[in-house]
C-alpha cells in the first residue's frame, strides 16, 4: 500500500492511496480528557490550548463542554458558601459556589455573563441536595441581596448574610 500527497483542499493537505485510488485527509484526534486536564490542572487558557493542540478556540470550548465532571457532594451539610463569577475574556466565565471550610467547589456553571438566575439555580441545587447555608459571602451583584432575602423566607436555611463591602467599610 502506497500513500502519496495529493494536493490541498481548503488549505488542508490531501492524500491518495495508490493501491485503491481513494483520496482522504488525516485529521487530528484530540483527547478531550487530556484537554480538560491541561485546562484545569495545567492552568492553561483557551487561547493557549488552541495554539498547543493546533485547533480553534471554538473547538476547545466545544471539547471542554463535552466533559462531564462528576460532582463530589460534600459530606458536611452545614456550609458557609462563597459565590462569585470568574471570567476568561469578555464572554466566557464560570459561576462558582464554594464551601468556605472544605475549600471544595460545590456547584459551577459556565456562563457568558453573570445573572441572578444563575445564582438562583446554584442555590436551588444546594437546596435540592439538603445543604444548610450558615452564611453567604458574595461581591454584591445588583439584586443579590434581594435574592438572598427571598432564600431566607424559603426552605433553604440561610442564617446570616454579609456584604463584603460593608464589612470592609466598617473595619476601616
Same domain, 109 and 122: yes
Same domain, 104 and 159: yes
CATH of the domain at 129: 3.30.420.10
Same domain, 61 and 116: no
State the cell numbers at 17.
Answer: 492511496
Residues in contact with 33: Cβ distance below 8 Å, sequence separation at least 6, in sequence order: 67
54-63, 70-79, 90-99, 158-167: least confident range: 158-167
**pTM above 0.85?**
no
User: What is the rounded CA–CA span in Å between residue 16 and residue 64?
Assistant: 33
Strand order in the sheet with 3-9: 3-9, 12-17, 23-24
Work out the percent of the chain whose per-residue pLDDT is above 90. 15
Cell 462563597 -> residue? 82
Same domain, 14 and 56: no
**What would the DSSP string read from start to end of 132-155?**
EEEEEEE---TTHHHHHHHHHHSS
Q: Which domain holds residue 123?
A: 78-171
Amino acid at each position: 500500500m502506497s500513500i502519496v500527497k495529493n494536493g490541498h483542499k481548503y488549505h488542508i493537505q490531501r492524500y491518495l492511496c495508490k493501491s485503491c485510488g481513494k483520496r482522504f485527509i488525516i485529521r487530528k484526534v484530540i483527547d478531550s480528557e487530556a484537554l480538560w486536564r491541561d485546562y484545569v490542572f495545567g492552568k492553561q487558557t483557551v487561547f493557549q490550548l488552541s495554539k498547543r493542540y493546533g485547533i480553534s478556540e471554538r473547538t476547545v470550548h466545544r471539547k471542554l463542554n463535552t466533559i462531564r465532571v462528576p460532582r463530589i457532594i460534600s459530606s458536611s451539610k452545614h456550609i458557609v458558601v462563597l459565590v462569585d463569577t470568574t471570567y476568561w475574556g469578555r464572554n466566557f466565565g464560570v459561576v462558582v459556589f464554594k464551601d468556605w471550610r472544605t475549600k471544595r467547589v460545590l456547584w459551577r456553571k459556565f456562563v457568558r455573563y453573570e445573572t441572578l438566575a444563575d445564582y438562583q439555580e446554584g442555590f436551588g441545587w444546594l437546596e435540592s441536595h439538603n445543604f444548610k447555608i450558615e452564611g453567604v459571602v458574595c461581591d454584591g451583584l445588583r439584586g443579590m441581596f434581594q435574592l438572598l432575602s427571598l432564600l431566607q423566607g424559603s426552605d433553604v436555611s440561610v442564617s446570616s448574610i454579609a456584604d463584603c463591602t460593608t464589612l470592609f467599610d466598617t473595619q476601616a
